[in-house]
Amino acid sequence: MKAKAVKIKDGVYWVGVLDWDIRIYHGYTLKGTTYNAYLVFGEDKTCLIDNTYPGTETQLWARIKDALEKEKREKIDVIVQNHVERDHSGALPQIHKKFPEAPIYCTEIAVDGLKKHYPQLKNADFIEVKTGDKLDLGNKTLAFVEAFLLHWPDSMFTLLVEDGILFPNDAFGQHLCYPQRYDYEIPEYVLMDAAQKFYANLITPLSKRVLKKFKEIEDLGLLNKIKMIAPSHGQIWTDPMKIIGAYKDWAEGKCKNKITIIYDTMHYSTQKMAHAIAEGIISEGVDVRMYYLHEDERSEIVKDILDSKAVAFGTPTIYDKPYPTLGDIIYYLKGLRFDRTGFKKLAITFGSMGGEGGAPEIIANELKECGFEVIDEYEIFYIPDEKELEKCYEIGRKLAKKVKEM
Ligand SMILES: Cc1cc2nc3c(=O)[nH]c(=O)nc-3n(C[C@H](O)[C@H](O)[C@H](O)COP(=O)(O)O)c2cc1C
C-alpha cells in the first residue's frame, strides 16, 4: 500500500497509523484512533520513536518508506520504545526484523516487558536508559525522562532537544482518528473532550504523579523548552501549555459546577427519581449530565465525573442488592481513585424498592470507600408519587446549592 508521511519539523515525520475501525480498547469505547510513530533524521542516524498495533504494520511501513525516500535514507539506525503496550510496540518485531542492527532504547523495566511480549526479540540489542540520558543522532539530540507508572511502570518520555518536541507516548493523548495531525485543525471541543476522556480513564489514579512529573521536568529546565507535544494517540499539540494546563487542572481536581447522575432501572421508578433530581439541580443553575446504565458505559461516564463536583447514583433493589450494572461502574471507580485528584466530591444515592430495599445504602457505602462524601440517601416504595418526586427535586436543589458553595 501507499501512505504519506507527514513532516512536522525539518527532519521529523509522523509515520503513524490511522485505525478508523477500532470501537473498543481495554473497555474504553472509541470511534477510531491513531497510533502515532515518528521518524527523526539526525545527520548521522535515523531514529524511529514508537510504533503501532499488531496487524497495522503495512500502513506503518508505507509511511516509513515514504519518509526514508523523502530524506534519501536507506535505513532506521535506532529504535526508541517509550512504552511496552501493544498499541505502541506491536510492529516492533517486524521493524526490527528489517533492521536487526538497530538498538532498542527503552527503560530497564521495558526490556523485560518487551522480551515477554515478543520472545523473538530476545537477542535484540536493548539499551536501557534513565532520566538524563541522551542519544546524539548528529545535530539532533534525544533526551530521556523515565515516567514510572505514567501510565505503566515501563513508560518514559523522549524529548527532541533542538526542536523542543516532546514524545510522551500515552500522556496527553486522545483517542481520535482524523486525517489532520494538529490540534488546531479540528474543533476545540472535540479535541478537549477526547483529551478529558483519555485523562479520566488512564491518568486519574496517577494524578499526584502527574503533578510531581511536571515539577521534575520544570526542575530539569525542560518545561519551557517544550514547543510541541507529539503523543502516541490523536492530535499533535502545537500549543503545549493548553494540554499541560488542562492536565494540571484535572490532576489538582479543578471541577465545574456540574453534577453527573448515573442510574439504572427495571420498571422506570428510579428513572423518574433521577429526572426529578436533575430538575432540582437545573433550577439552581448547576449543570447536569445524565447516564442510564442500560445504554451508557463506564469510560464515557468517568469523563464527566472527572470535572463534576458531585455525583448522584440511582438503583432499584434486586435480590437485596443494587442493580448489577452499578457494580461495573463502582468497581471501575474504585480503581480510578478520583480522591487522588485532591478534591473530595459529594455524592447522593437514591432508588426504588418493593420489599426490604437497601440498594442505595450499599452504593452509598461503596462510594464512601471510593472517597466520595455521601450527603443524602433516599429510597422509596415502588412508584414515586408527587410528594416523593418533590422530595427528589429538593434533594437535587440541596446538592446543587452545596456544589455552588464549594
Ligand atoms: C427480579 C426482581 C427482584 C427484586 N428484588 C427485590 C428485593 O430483593 N428487595 C426489594 O426491596 N425489592 C425487590 N424488587 C422490587 C423492586 O425493587 C421494585 O419493583 C422497584 O420499584 C423497582 O424499581 P425500578 O422501577 O427503578 O426498576 C425486585 C424486583 C424484581 C423485578
Residue 342 lies in a domain: yes
Residue 301 is predicted with a pLDDT of 98
Task: Please tell me the distance between residue 187's alpha carbon and the centre of ligand 1 in angstroms.
Answer: 44
Q: Is 352 in the pocket of ligand 1 (CB under 6 A)?
A: yes
Task: Please tell me the distance between residue 248's alpha carbon and the centre of ligand 1 in angstroms.
Answer: 43
pLDDT at position 245 over 90: yes
Task: Please tell me the distance between residue 325's alpha carbon and the centre of ligand 1 in angstroms.
Answer: 14
146: phi then psi, degrees, rounded to nearest 5: -65, 145
| Mean pLDDT computed over 329-349 | 93
216: phi then psi, degrees, rounded to nearest 5: -60, -45
Atom 1 of ligand 1, nearest CA residue: 318
Residue 225 lies in a domain: yes
Residue 150 is predicted with a pLDDT of 82
Final residue in a domain of this structure, among 225, 251, 277: 251
Give the other-Cβ count within 10 Å of 27's Cβ.
11
User: What is the domain-level CATH number for residue 366?
Assistant: 3.40.50.360
Domain count, the chain: 2
In degrees, rounded to 5, the angle at the alpha carbon of residue 37 between the alpha carbons of residues 22 and 114 is: 85
Residue 406 lies in a domain: no
Same domain, 247 and 290: no
Task: Name the residue among 149, 86, 80 with its Cα closest to residue 118.
Answer: 86
| Test site for ligand 1: of 267, 356, 361, most ligand atoms within 8 A of the Cβ | 267
pLDDT at position 190 over 90: yes
Burial (Cβ within 10 Å: 0-12, 13-18, ≥19) of residue 327: middle
Final residue in a domain of this structure, among 192, 227, 251: 251
Helix (H, G, I), strand (E, B) or coil at 149: coil
Atom 3 of ligand 1, nearest CA residue: 318
Residue 290 is predicted with a pLDDT of 98
Which atom number of ligand 1 is nearest to the Cα of residue 380?
Answer: 21
Which atom number of ligand 1 is nearest to the Cα of residue 273?
Answer: 26
Same domain, 42 and 116: yes
Q: Is 324 in the pocket of ligand 1 (CB under 6 A)?
A: no
Q: Is 204 in the pocket of ligand 1 (CB under 6 A)?
A: no
Same domain, 266 and 323: yes
Residue 69 is predicted with a pLDDT of 98
| Cis, peptide link before residue 151, omega less than 30° from 0 | yes
Burial (Cβ within 10 Å: 0-12, 13-18, ≥19) of residue 361: middle
| Mean pLDDT computed over 250-276 | 97
| pLDDT tier at 62, thresholds 50, 70, 90 | very high
Burial (Cβ within 10 Å: 0-12, 13-18, ≥19) of residue 214: middle
Q: Is 357 in the pocket of ligand 1 (CB under 6 A)?
A: yes
Same domain, 225 and 295: no
| Mean pLDDT computed over 318-334 | 97
pLDDT digits (tens, 9 = 90+) for 369-390: 999 999 999 999 999 999 999 9
Task: Return the DSSP state at 23.
Answer: -
Rounded CA-CA distance 133/126 in Å is 15
Q: Is 318 in the pocket of ligand 1 (CB under 6 A)?
A: yes
Residue 49 lies in a domain: yes
Residue count of the chain, please give it: 406
Q: Is 122 in the pocket of ligand 1 (CB under 6 A)?
A: no
Residue 262 is predicted with a pLDDT of 98
Task: Name the residue among 42, 59, 60 with its Cα closest to residue 51.
Answer: 60
Q: Is 268 in the pocket of ligand 1 (CB under 6 A)?
A: yes
In degrees, rounded to 5, the angle at the alpha carbon of residue 297 between the alpha carbons of residues 291 and 300 is: 80
Task: Please tell me the distance between residue 332's alpha carbon and the centre of ligand 1 in angstroms.
Answer: 24
User: What is the domain-level CATH number for residue 246?
Assistant: 3.60.15.10
Rounded CA-CA distance 19/35 in Å is 7
Residue 358 gets the label, from left (phi > 0), alpha (psi -120 to 50) or beta, of: left
Rounded CA-CA distance 106/154 in Å is 8
Q: Is 353 in the pocket of ligand 1 (CB under 6 A)?
A: yes
Identify the H or E element spanning 13.
strand 12-14
Same domain, 225 and 289: no
Residue 219 is predicted with a pLDDT of 87
Task: Name the residue among 199, 299, 191, 286 with its Cα closest to residue 236.
Answer: 191
| pLDDT tier at 341, thresholds 50, 70, 90 | confident
Residue 45 lies in a domain: yes
| Mean pLDDT computed over 204-224 | 88
Residue 320 lies in a domain: yes
Final residue in a domain of this structure, among 182, 217, 251: 251
Task: Return the DSSP state at 10.
Answer: T
Atom 21 of ligand 1, nearest CA residue: 382
Residue 405 lies in a domain: no
Residue 213 is predicted with a pLDDT of 87
Same domain, 235 and 290: no
pTM: 0.96
Give the other-Cβ count within 10 Å of 139's Cβ.
11
Task: Please tell me the distance between residue 103's alpha carbon and the centre of ligand 1 in angstroms.
Answer: 62
pLDDT at position 151 over 90: no
Residue 63 is predicted with a pLDDT of 98
| pLDDT tier at 161, thresholds 50, 70, 90 | very high
Residue recorded with cell 510504533: 51
pLDDT at position 134 over 90: yes
Q: Which domain holds residue 342?
A: 260-399
Residue 319 is predicted with a pLDDT of 98
Q: Is 266 in the pocket of ligand 1 (CB under 6 A)?
A: yes
pLDDT digits (tens, 9 = 90+) for 100-125: 999 999 999 999 999 999 999 999 99
Work out the angle between the directed axes of helices 324-336 and 298-306 (0-180°, nearest 10): 50
Q: Is 317 in the pocket of ligand 1 (CB under 6 A)?
A: yes
| Test site for ligand 1: of 262, 270, 319, 325, most ligand atoms within 8 A of the Cβ | 319
Rounded CA-CA distance 279/26 in Å is 35
Same domain, 242 and 268: no
Is the complex ipTM higher than 0.90?
A: yes
Atom 16 of ligand 1, nearest CA residue: 353
Residue type at 150 in one-letter notation: L
Residue 189 lies in a domain: yes
Residue 280 is predicted with a pLDDT of 98
| pLDDT tier at 148, thresholds 50, 70, 90 | confident
Same domain, 274 and 209: no
Same domain, 270 and 239: no
| pLDDT tier at 225, thresholds 50, 70, 90 | confident
